[in-house]
Copies of this chain bind each other. A is one copy, B any other.
Amino acid sequence: MAAKNDTQSKILDVAETRIRVSGYNGFSFRDIAADVGIKSASVHYHFPTKADLGVNVMHGYTERLLEYLGDPEDNNVSAKALLQRYIDRYHQCLIKDKAMCLACMMGAEASSLPEVVAQEVARFFELNIAWLKTVYQRIDSNEKKKKLKAKALHLLATLQGALIIARTMGNTKIFERISSEFVH
């Protein structure tokens, strides 16, 4: 379900922010309603249950990332530039959004999430790994499939972890120091 009207997209927007700061267990429908300027019953009209909202927030986040990243096989952009673009997105979480990656936050909570929400988080990771594998293959076309996946997993994991540590320690340089090792 894509946001069809203004209120729905506002709800998704503020819910995403809330979850990225406090987690799925850390926000309420009344929080969302207050942020949007409506009542919680109206939020339930658009998203009957909290799981519905969670799934749609996660799905929209994934689609937005994929759109930002673009086609990993687009030859108008170098593979290394694509890799940098990927890293930049996490850097934006830290600097611009001042929030966690949504998938990282809900991934940590995964085992206490409604099943449908947890599956949507897993989908985010799957698509990230597939995109990164394609990019890494362009960087080294002779690389074995297993090694490509290992590289994709490694970058994804490190960026997620770096975001947590940098934010907890209140030091953005920590993220920059870690992520800079992936651009040569």
Which partner residue on chain B sits nearest A151 by CB separation? B181
With a cutoff of 8 Å between Cβ atoms, the chain B residues found around residue A21 in the complex are: 111-112
Chain A, interface size: which category?
35 or more
Known: A110-B164, A157-B160. 17 other contacts (CB 8 A): A22-B109, A23-B112, A99-B111, A104-B108, A104-B164, A105-B108, A107-B165, A110-B167, A111-B167, A121-B168, A126-B169, A153-B165, A153-B177, A157-B158, A157-B178, A158-B158, A160-B161
Is B150 touching A177 in the complex (CB atoms < 8 A)? yes
Contacting B at CB under 8 A, from A134-179, are 149-150, 153-154, 156-162, 164-165, 167-170, 174, 177-178
Q: How far is the CA of A174 from the CA of B129 in the complex (A)?
A: 11
Is A23 touching B169 in the complex (CB atoms < 8 A)? no
With a cutoff of 8 Å between Cβ atoms, the chain B residues found around residue A150 in the complex are: 177-178, 181
With a cutoff of 8 Å between Cβ atoms, the chain B residues found around residue A177 in the complex are: 149-150, 153
* Assembly stoichiometry (copies): 2
Is residue A100 within 8 Å, beta carbon to beta carbon, of the partner chain? yes
Is residue A122 within 8 Å, beta carbon to beta carbon, of the partner chain? yes
